[in-house]
Every structure is written in structure tokens, then in C-alpha cells.
Amino acid sequence: MSEDPGQEKSMEILEEALHEMHAAEAREKWLNYVALISGLLAAFAAVVGLFETQATSKTMLAKNEAILLQSKASDQWNFYQAKSIKGHIYEVNSKLFPAKAEEFGNEVKKYGADKAEIKAKAEEIEKKVEEKNVESEHFYEQHHKFSFAETFLHIAIALSSISALTRKKQLLYLAVACGLAGIGFWATGIL
């Protein structure tokens, strides 16, 4: 007893429809993964962008503080020079006017003591300048690492979007690799 050709054709169509449904479910499941990965990459890119912005602000703030401190140190050195010149004038006057040598000598000592205090203060400020410059350089390096991280994460988002449109899993794998590179740059920036 042979099967009905119409029934055989119907079974074939049904099997094709089932196969197509399973393929559509697999595609939908894969697209869900792409959407999830893209969302995670975008969220992480936003967080890294925040870190990058903060590092930039901290770089500028530390550099501005260093410049302000350097200005204060320069003021102290100018003050030191003025005291030094006045001390030399009194020293010369003590030799030119022996009658007032003791009075001028006291002024020389006074200016000498003032100079020592001013010099110590200027050197202390210069140490702070160096600390702020080192701090600024640290934040500047962080800024660069965070910028690379953000760039790789944005490339990863673009690649995952393209993989969804083209249905090419290789692009999604490349997107994940770029995302991991971005996370790596972010981690090195934090450490």
C-alpha cells in the first residue's frame, strides 16, 4: 500500500516549516545574545567614559595646582633675591661707613635670617610643585588608557551591531575580543 502523494507532499512541507521554525528560533536566540552583549558593551563604555572624563579633570586640576604653586615659589624666590640684594647693600654700606658698621651689620644678619626662612619656604613649595606634576602625569596616563578602553568598546559595539545585521558570528566574536581589549585597557588604567 503506497502513501498518498498529497499526504507525502504535506509531510514534506510540514517538516520544512518545522525546520524553518527551529532555524528562526536559533537566529532569534543568537540575536538575543547579540543584543545582550551590545547592551553590556554600551553600559561599560558609558562607565569607562565617566572614568576618562574624571581622569581628564583630575589631570587639569593637578596641573593647574602645580602652576599656581610654581608661581608662589617664584614669588618666594623673587622675595629671596630682594632680601639678598638689600643684605648686600647693607654689607657694602657697613664697609663704606665704618661708623655705622654695627647697625648695618645687624641689618645684614636680619636679612640673612630672612633669606634662610624664605629659601626654606620656596623649596618646600617646589616640592609640592613636583608632587602635583607627578600626580598630573599619573592622571594623564590614566586618561590615555581610559581613552583607548572607550575606543575599543565603541568599536566592539559597532561590530556587534554589524554582526546582527549581517548574521555573521565571526563579527560578534571580534566584537567580544575588542570589548575585552577595552576592559583590559580600563583595568590597566585603574591599577
**Block residue for cell numbers 532555524:** 23
pLDDT at 180: 97
Amino acid making up residue 145: K
Q: Check pLDDT > 80 for residue 166.
A: yes
pLDDT greater than 80 at residue 39: yes
Query: Do 75 and 100 form a contact (C-beta atoms < 8 A)?
Result: no
46-70 pLDDT per residue, tens:
999 999 999 999 999 999 999 999 9
CB 73 within 8 Å of CB 129: yes
Per-residue pLDDT tens over the stretch 68-112: 999 999 999 999 999 999 999 999 999 999 999 899 899 999 999
pLDDT averaged over every residue in the chain: 91
**Would the pTM of this model clear 0.85, i.e. be above it?**
no
Q: How many domains does the chain have?
A: 1
Structural domain of 60: 5-190
Separation in Å, CA 188 to CA 41, 51, 191: 18, 12, 5
How far apart, in Å, are the Cα atoms of 59 and each of 94, 167, 188?
Answer: 52, 43, 17
171 pLDDT more than 90 = yes
Predicted local distance difference test score (pLDDT) of residue 3: 62
Q: CA nearest 178: which of 161, 191, 131?
A: 161
In the block, residue with C-alpha cell 654695627 = 102
What is the rounded CA–CA span in Å between residue 76 and residue 73? Answer: 5
Give the pLDDT score at 28: 76
Give the pLDDT score at 15: 73
